[in-house]
Amino acid sequence: MARFWSLLFLLVPIMGVGIFLWAPTAGLYLPRDVSTHGHAIDGLFTFILVLTGVVFVMTELVLVVFLWRYDHRTNQEPVKFVHGSHNLEVVWTIVPAATLLFIAIYQMNTWADIKINRPDMPPTVRVTARQFEWRLRYPGKDGVLGTQDDIFAVNDLHLPLNEEILVHLESADVLHSFFLPNLRIKQDAIPGSTIPVWFRATEPGTYDLVCAELCGWGHYKMKGRLTIEPRKKFESWLEQKRQEQEAVQ
Ligand SMILES: [Cu+2]
């Protein structure tokens, strides 16, 4: 029976690795990347996944070998307890600390590109998250956000293709998270702050915009749509919105 348990534990690393190998073929992996910085994020993701994956498989195999070899029926003598090992403690503290420090340094340039080196430009759109929708506000003809001629939309985010985009992200009530999976963008929206988010989309299309922070009972339906389109189409969409808006005023 004890042998059966060790084999059952062996299924954990086999299935763990198996699922990761199978998922991309079933379309259950990362969605298609349509941003300029996405490959850097995906590279970090894969690097950390492989690193932790190798450690995971190694520790699982050690566990299974010990379960198999030290089964109680073939090891009748009493167990000898060991109370700590200073050297072992030092080793398994230093190795993870060094690994974490390495990852912290290794990801620095990507972090700087995505979170620090903000483009010097006026915002393309203001996104205000609220329970349970995305309110969008574009500058009107004057090109300045926050003036009388601004153009409004809800859940329908349109942005121009192959251009630097600067989003000003806000929250009207609680914590939300602005998540564009295809652009590898995920940023918390925090009440009381305006958070800049920038990126560049490289392929036209319609993509998901979802909330990635449990923000209340209706969190599941806090879904919008991101449309990436060439500048001309984007401008005619804005113009159409503006006319609709004037018609009801
Ligand atoms: Cu939300």
Distances (CA, A) of 247 to 69, 136, 194, 244: 79, 19, 31, 5
Q: Measured in angstroms, how far is the CA atom of residue 159 from the centroid of ligand 1? A: 21
Q: Is the pLDDT of residue 158 over 70?
A: yes
Contacts of 45 (CB under 8 A, 6+ apart): 30
Rounded Cα–Cα distance for residues 165 and 147 (Å): 20
Distance 173 CA to ligand 1 centre (A): 9
Per-residue pLDDT, 2: 60
> What would the mean pLDDT of 157-167 be, rounded to a whole number?
97
Cβ atoms within 10 Å, residue 161: 19
For residue range 117-142, list pLDDT tens digits in order: 999 999 999 999 999 999 999 999 89
Inter-residue contact 110 to 44 (CB < 8 Å)? yes
**Ligand 1: distance of its center to the CA of 169 in Å?**
13
Radius of gyration (C-alpha) of the chain in whole angstroms: 25
Centre of ligand 1 to C-alpha 212, Å, is 7
pLDDT of residue 48: 95
Ligand 1 centre from 128 Cα, in Å? Answer: 10
CATH number of 125-248: 2.60.40.420
- Between the CA of 211 and the centroid of ligand 1 the distance, in Å, is 5
How far, in Å, is the centroid of ligand 1 from the Cα of 62?
43
Selected residue with higher pLDDT from 38 and 77: 38
Centroid of ligand 1 to alpha carbon of 240 (angstroms): 28
**What helix, strand, coil percent values describe the chain, rounded to 5?**
45, 25, 30
CA of 49 to the centre of ligand 1 (A): 28
Dist. CA 213 → ligand 1 center (Å): 6
For 37-67, the pLDDT digits (tens) are: 999 999 999 999 999 999 999 999 999 999 8
The mean per-residue pLDDT over the stretch 89-104 comes to: 96
Q: Where are the domains of the chain?
A: 4-116, 125-248
- pTM of the full structure: 0.86
Packing angle of the helix pair 2-22, 38-69 (nearest 10 deg) = 170
